[in-house]
Amino acid sequence: MAKLMVQGGKRLCGELTVHGAKNSALPLLAASLLGDTPSIIHNCPELSDVDSSIHILEWLGCRVKREGSTIVVDSSSIDRCDIPDNLMREMRSSVVFLGAIAAKCGKARISFPGGCELGPRPIDLHLTALRQLGLTIDEGHGELDCYAKNGLTGTEITLSFPSVGATENIILAGATAKGTTRILNAAREPEISDLADFLNGCGARIYGAGEGTIRIEGVSRLSGTEHTVIPDRICAATYMAAAAVTQGNICLRGIIPAHLGPVLSLFSEAGCDLSLNGRDLRITAPPRLHSLKTVRTMPYPGFPTDAQAPVMSMAALADGTSVFVENIFESRYKHVGELMRLGAHIKVEGKVAVVEGVPRLSGAPVEATDLRGGAALVVAGLAAEGVTEITGLHHLDRGYEHMEDTLRAVGAVLERV
């Protein structure tokens, strides 16, 4: 079993480049199914979730070629419309293929997705929306058997919650549906805008992405396109937290500052000095971090739930008490018990976590139980006295490209064994 051995107490200094966004690359790879000529996608991170998406594309019959961070997808040879259970279980985001396959083939058969266990993340919103577009979905024996005898037809869809995945599935299905589709209470995340930009490059007519209402005028066909994935804002927040807990001074290159608004304000509140120069961000941490008052996770443009765990590690070493309110997922505090093994003082009551900052953490064996919780343990381990031994590394590999190499380049001492 692989372990990450983190030697704490090393100040991070230097610069690093933020890789492409996982949460953008995955729906873009699904969208590449819709074009009848090849798509070229740049800045695709080397992650196990991206590999899983490639395996799904290849299973469906696509020809996929990767060179460095560029992936070329030719879907002209697609000859299947099903995804087997073992591929669906590899990641939650696999459900985003449903809208694309249904639009491409007029039918689809998939099982329920896997991925991190963060409590109920039902795909009801996805299924309800796709049914409104004319997709018949039969559920049974853990599978979804879907077909659209007369094709998909645009309609007005109001989401009860601005789900990112459901919004993506509607966009993918609606891009080539007959007529116009309107999404009300749509997710506004930057990854939604990136997907719309990709599809518009393919010939789609999508308007209002990044706003609460999105309009999609269906077209009869799409071609491939060339596109560059936006930088990963959660990766940026994680490395900012790593700099903060080590009293570090690092420059993050290639970010989009507008995507990090609520994150930047939080780090300023913690006493970090932030300096922006175009798409570069320099963060300089104080000798002791300030507490964060109240951190509420919310849909974009609020504070992202994916950044909650790494920032909690930062709060664990702050001077004073910080309060976290998790409004997105019910089981997103699994990292708390592991942080307490390192000496953090945290109390959880329902969706609220109260973090009393301590002067120091101590290295200990801990286990990553999900992606962002694993990142929180790495952040805490970088500041802890002694060695922190982290297992469950397959979670980290889903969302952080060569994390050890990136951190070593700015002065961290850690090794995968």
Catalytic residues, by residue number, are: 116
Is 281 a known ligand-binding residue? no
Contact 241, 211 (CB under 8 A): no
Is 197 a known ligand-binding residue? no
**Strands 136-140 and 143-147, sheet pairing:** antiparallel
Is 85 a known ligand-binding residue? no
Is 122 a known ligand-binding residue? yes
Distance of CA 393 to the CA centre of its chain: 17
Beta-sheet strand order (sheet of 136-140): 107-111, 143-147, 136-140
Is 23 a known ligand-binding residue? yes
Angle at 221 between CA 215 and CA 227, to 5 degrees: 75
- The sign of the dihedral angle between the CA atoms of 226, 180, 145, 47 is positive
Is 230 a known ligand-binding residue? no
d(CA 96, CA 89): 13
3-class SS of residue 416: strand
Q: What is the DSSP letter of 177?
A: S
**Strands 226-228 and 273-277, sheet pairing:** unpaired
**Strands 4-7 and 39-42, sheet pairing:** unpaired
Is 107 a known ligand-binding residue? no
Is 22 a known ligand-binding residue? yes
Binding-site residue ranges for UDP-N-acetyl-alpha-D-glucosamine:
92, 121-125, 306, 328
Binding-site residue ranges:
22-23, 92, 121-125, 306, 328
Binding-site residue ranges for phosphoenolpyruvate:
22-23
